[in-house]
Amino acid sequence: MSNEPVDPAIAAADAAMQDKVRQVEIAISLVLRIGVIVSVLVILAGLVMMFLHDPRYAALDGGISFHALVGGHAEFPHSLTQLSRALAAGEGRGVVVLGVLLLILTPVLRVAVSVLSFVYEKDPPMVLVTLFVLLVLIASFFLA
Amino acid sequence: MTPLDFVISLSLISVAAGALGSLVGLGGGVLIVPVLVRFYDIDIRLAIGASIVSVIATSSGAAAAYVRDEMINLRAGMFLEIATVTGAVTGGYLTTLLPARFLYILFGVVLAYSALATYRHRHAAALLSHSDDRLANYFNLHGHYRDDAEHRDYDYKVKNTWIGLAMMYVAGMVSALLGIGSGALKVPAMDLAMHLPMKVSTATSNFMIGVTAAASAGMYFARGQIDPLIAAPVAIGVLAGSMLGARYLGRATNKLIRMIFVVVLLVIALEMLQRGLR
């Protein structure tokens, strides 16, 4: 390929395409980074709230065993209604669950940004590919 | 063990799981589950819920760096996600039909086989410069990466896209059934079948496992398998570990990554077989 003469116009178009691809990559990287940072901060805040709420959690010895908190009877929110109730009550575990949900949504958001990116790159086949993935992901949440 | 000891020790173990997972393209879930079940004596259902969280954390943490460093074949990854998400949704329905023991044994055998196949190809590094694969050509799944270990740029072509899609569909099903990212199946699909360079395969697998796991995460959440006190240290530790691991991949050689991958696969295969045969 490299020993053929290159039309400067084609080379410029190629470079422009490369630039666009690079912008898409940077957008995706940014979405992942923001999603990760926000969810870590929320999870950390929730964890601190859990420990502050109950002094037995933070005791170094003579406190309770963690098994009492993670065993089969431990109560924690596992539906959106329960989550909003836990958040309204200011429970630390509700905040942690919110952070975990934000973490779960990060890849979904990444796919959504990819769809927009390929629209911007004017690449219809890949728009369809990423749109399909996004729809299946959204459907999976409703099926669950 | 008090809750504070639990949170601190589990997050430190999770750092190691995240670092290793990000290097070899696995979610770290396969390392977290045995630790939770054996060492902390936690119910397997909750351990699997934590595993799904670990997979998503590894993926998002490492992929942010890999996309920036141009290690990932984004187009191939997104294209193959068609198969993994469909597989994951189908797998969600199959959980009630197939006995878990059978799955563990099956998965153990498949992993042992792919460890062997990867080991036999440990020297193969020749990249394709030409491909007749119409699917790969139409969607332009071929790629380019910069190898920081060899200080060179490489262009490579992709082939066997249909085989890759089929393997990814199975990987998606396994992921939903066993609560793992199933990078152990994704990496061979790209490395052995589609001829992507090994490091690009693990980085792209990392990129994909988050989406695969997200497709079944809703199901695990609704079933009450995601316990905040377990998920919090796992998520934080794994994220930190995956960012550390992601710094190292570019500088490692393809052969080294392959060898680490083989060892990790064998360990997981034994773990799965033991769980199925018990």
Q: What is the ipTM of this complex?
A: 0.86
Q: At what angle do helices B198-222 and B161-178 cross, to 10 degrees?
A: 40
Domain that holds residue A87: 8-143
Q: Is A140 on the interface with B (CB under 8 A)?
A: yes
pLDDT digits (tens, 9 = 90+) for B75-117: 899 999 999 999 988 887 777 777 778 878 877 887 888 888 7
Mean pLDDT, residues A54-68 taken together = 62
Q: Structural domain tally of chain A?
A: 1
Point out which residues pair with B152 in neighbouring strands.
B147
In the predicted structure, residue A3 carries a pLDDT above the cut 60: no
Mean pLDDT, residues A109-122 taken together = 89
Counting one residue from chain A and one from chain B, the pairs whose CB atoms sit within 8 A come to: 191
The confidence score (pLDDT) of residue B257 equals 86
What number of other Cβ atoms are within 10 A of residue B163's Cβ?
A: 14
The confidence score (pLDDT) of residue A36 equals 92
pLDDT digits (tens, 9 = 90+) for B6-22: 888 999 999 999 998 88
Mean pLDDT, residues A53-66 taken together = 63
Distance from CA of B140 to the nearest CA of A (A): 10
In the predicted structure, residue B205 carries a pLDDT above the cut 50: yes
> Quick check: is A16 in a domain?
yes
Whole-number percent of chain B with pLDDT over 90: 19
**CB contact (8 A) between residue A32 and residue B4:** no
Query: What is the residue type of B16?
Result: A
Domain that holds residue B37: 3-277
Mean pLDDT, residues B142-157 taken together = 82
Mean pLDDT, residues B118-134 taken together = 74
Per CB-CB distance under 8 Å, the chain B contacts of A114 are: 74, 78
Q: Which of B60, B156, B216 is the best substitution to test chain A (most A C-beta atoms within 10 A)?
A: B60
**CB contact (8 A) between residue A96 and residue B64:** no
What number of other Cβ atoms are within 10 A of residue A23's Cβ?
A: 13
Of all residues in chain B, the one with the smallest CA distance to A140 is B215
> Quick check: is A2 in a domain?
no
Whose structure tokens read 């988050």?
B210
The alpha carbon dihedral of B52, B57, B60, B66 has a sign of negative
In the predicted structure, residue B69 carries a pLDDT above the cut 90: no
From residue B179, alpha-carbon distances to A138, B47, B130, B214 in Å are 19, 9, 37, 11
